[in-house]
Structure 1
């Protein structure tokens, strides 16, 4: 599957009022994906109207599922259902010592390439101001997927200041276009950041959005579907780029998965 270049995707989507919607595999339930595999839920995602399907490496049942051959088969299956893949890995871009993790990045790029992914998503990790833009550029030069880095739920890799510093450092190194931002609306709340403030600061870099609300307090926070009267998502979407794909990362209603998935896809496309 030949991924649509980000610039072309932006141009195409900018002509319409709706955004492309990705269903993240975990929306069907992490335990369900681990039990059944990703392929078992592709038809449900396609029938709900999703344009893309996000594969989560941490939800594979065995290491064999992460082989390049297995990922290629999964990518072809996603394509047959008329969707394009996103590849998500829990690995971090920067090691604990602040250095670029070239091994993890190279592995992620290779796996995403086998899958035919449009985006490959990593966590930021322990970024300390040293971007190593040349290293990033070399690592992604031969890859097919667009590298995006996501704000996580921990303070390390989840603070707004780290992302502001990352993109500023890349600009200083003349490598500002080497990666984009995967903006997770809900994740900002774990380290105590304001999602709207983050959206205003990072909007020029955002190329993919994860949508979810958060319920609970402290360490016991959980992803949830946005309430019907929750205006926060609308305010955030009004700040972020309209044309970028939006991912559903909140759980569907398990008593009516098909109808809930279809309703949520239609809502997020038009939100």
Structure 2
């Protein structure tokens, strides 16, 4: 089911699965596959892998679409034909110091053409409640799919206090705004994911799952190991039940449909 937000309440998000299901919807971000594989095989092939693997949906990344891509309606129809719900991820930040993103209207149209159930964007530089035209933003979002801001890997958009301030101010202003909670990204900004879950849990509508490994003083996304999955189970107690979650870590190998199915199963029943 798809629930459109109203300006008088916090954004709602569809479960994507029947209410009586014991599992949570599991999706795959296109970025989980190497870009060379996506370019060589094409979206139709990748989406068919997801269907074979039993994914409930796909996260379409705007920055990974071909240069000049315009056929959002066609891509959305392909996803629908394969029973894949769509979450649309756009790279432009919601806030640019003293205004919200100029391209938000365009992103909303693209998301609608895709039939997306939500739009995900990085927060950017939140300017503070008194500098925001919440009425204008609410009007922009009235007929849009739910808008979710994501904690990214930057100090301004990936640390606890700015994100909490933005979400709490939006709620006070009656502006529909939710959150994508990226488990791994907190480590890039030195933030405790559990502390973030306790503070931001009521706003979270979508979960990005990844393991994180370090090497040569750099962090990189990886398949979560059993210890990381155990930590995720603890974190989930502070987040909404049946939270849709997505694979956002590298999937590589000869049989990508089988590998994807294995990883989806690990996340579905956490």
Distance 1:58 1:219, change over 3 A: farther
Residue in 2 that maps onto 1:141: 142
TM-score (norm 1): 0.89
User: Is residue 83 of structure 2 the alignment partner of residue 82 of structure 1?
Assistant: yes
Distance 1:190 1:219, change over 3 A: farther
- The alpha-carbon deviation at position 246 of structure 1 amounts to 0.4
User: Is residue 186 of structure 2 the alignment partner of residue 188 of structure 1?
Assistant: yes
Could you list the per-position Cα deviations for residues 199-250 of structure 1 after superposition, in whole angstroms to 9, with x for gaps in the alignment? 1111101111100011116872111111023321111122211222101101
Residue aligned with 2:207, SS: strand
Higher relative contact order (CA 8 A, sep 6+): 2
**Mapped contact 1:34–1:60 kept (Cα < 8 A):** no
Distance 2:98 2:128 in 1: 8
- The alpha-carbon deviation at position 60 of structure 1 amounts to 1.3
- The alpha-carbon deviation at position 156 of structure 1 amounts to 1.8
Distance 2:207 2:161 in 1: 19
18, 25, 28: which one aligns with 2:23: 18
**Mapped contact 1:13–1:19 kept (Cα < 8 A):** no
Residue in 1 that maps onto 2:250: 251
**Mapped contact 1:38–1:55 kept (Cα < 8 A):** no
Residue in 2 that maps onto 1:43: 48
Could you list the per-position Cα deviations for residues 142-175 of structure 1 after superposition, in whole angstroms to 9, with x for gaps in the alignment? 22x2111111111121111111101221233233
Alignment length (residue pairs): 260
- The alpha-carbon deviation at position 8 of structure 1 amounts to 7.8
Residue aligned with 1:9, SS: coil
- Unmatched segments (≥5 aa) in structure 1: none
Residue aligned with 2:226, SS: coil
Q: Which runs of 4+ in 1 moved over 4 A?
A: 10-14
- The alpha-carbon deviation at position 132 of structure 1 amounts to 2.9
182, 189, 205: which one aligns with 2:203: 205
Residue aligned with 2:14, SS: helix
TM-score (norm 2): 0.90
- Unmatched segments (≥5 aa) in structure 2: 5-11
